């Protein structure tokens, strides 16, 4: 029904491991980012860094992202179950998962993605309930028009 690919951020902000902490902080502030994916020399995903990871880092102009130890990198395959990813985020201290195909980063999925899913599901449920009530009201009116009472059945 729902898959990760449908809701993930397909264009996560990436930076090279040799980029500076100062530049990462600047990008996070300018673009209101929650996470930056750090890539190695060959484009391989090394880690995801969030604001807390960068807050604890020295502001030195030359300190690189490679020198920061973020949370352990947790990935989820693009075709993995959405429910399992949601349960992992709920039960862990992570707020974002890297979505990969093999070892290649193809996106991220975070708490905001699951809020969007919840909003969509609530809207669907509300529509279904409204439709059910409309059908029940229509049945009642038809019964009344035909002179039937609900006790007649």
Residues 2-26: pLDDT tens digits?
678 888 999 999 999 999 988 998 9
pTM: 0.72
Q: Region 106-121: what's the mean pLDDT?
A: 86
Cβ pair 131, 124 in contact under 8 A: no
């Amino acid at each position: 029904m729902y898959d990760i690919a449908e809701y993930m951020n397909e264009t996560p902000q990436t930076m090279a491991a040799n980029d500076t902490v100062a530049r990462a902080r600047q990008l996070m502030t300018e673009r209101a980012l929650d996470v930056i994916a750090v890539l190695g020399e060959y484009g391989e995903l090394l880690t995801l860094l969030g604001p807390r990871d960068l807050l604890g880092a020295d502001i030195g102009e030359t300190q690189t992202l490679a020198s920061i130890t973020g949370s352990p990198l947790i990935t989820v395959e693009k075709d993995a179950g959405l429910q399992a990813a949601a349960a992992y985020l709920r039960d862990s201290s992570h707020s974002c998962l890297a979505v990969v195909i093999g070892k290649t980063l193809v996106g991220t999925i975070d708490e905001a993605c699951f809020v969007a899913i919840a909003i969509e599901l609530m809207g669907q449920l509300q529509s279904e309930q409204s439709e059910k009530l409309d059908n029940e009201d229509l049945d009642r009116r038809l019964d009344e028009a035909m002179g039937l009472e609900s006790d007649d059945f």
